[in-house]
Amino acid sequence: MTIKTLLARPAAWWTIAAILAAIFMFMATNNEVYEIASPPSSDWSVMERKSESIVAFALVGFAVVRACFAGGRTASPLVIGAVIAAYSAVIEVMQYFLDPPWEGIWWSLFDVFCGFVGGYLAVYVVRLLGRTATPRL
Check if the beta carbon of residue 112 is closer than 8 Å to that of residue 96: no
pLDDT tens track for 98-120: 876 567 788 889 999 999 999 99
What average pLDDT does the segment 37-64 reach? 85
In the chain, what are the domain boundaries?
Answer: 8-128
pTM score? 0.85
Which of these, 51, 54, 68, 53, lies nearest to 16 by C-alpha position? 68
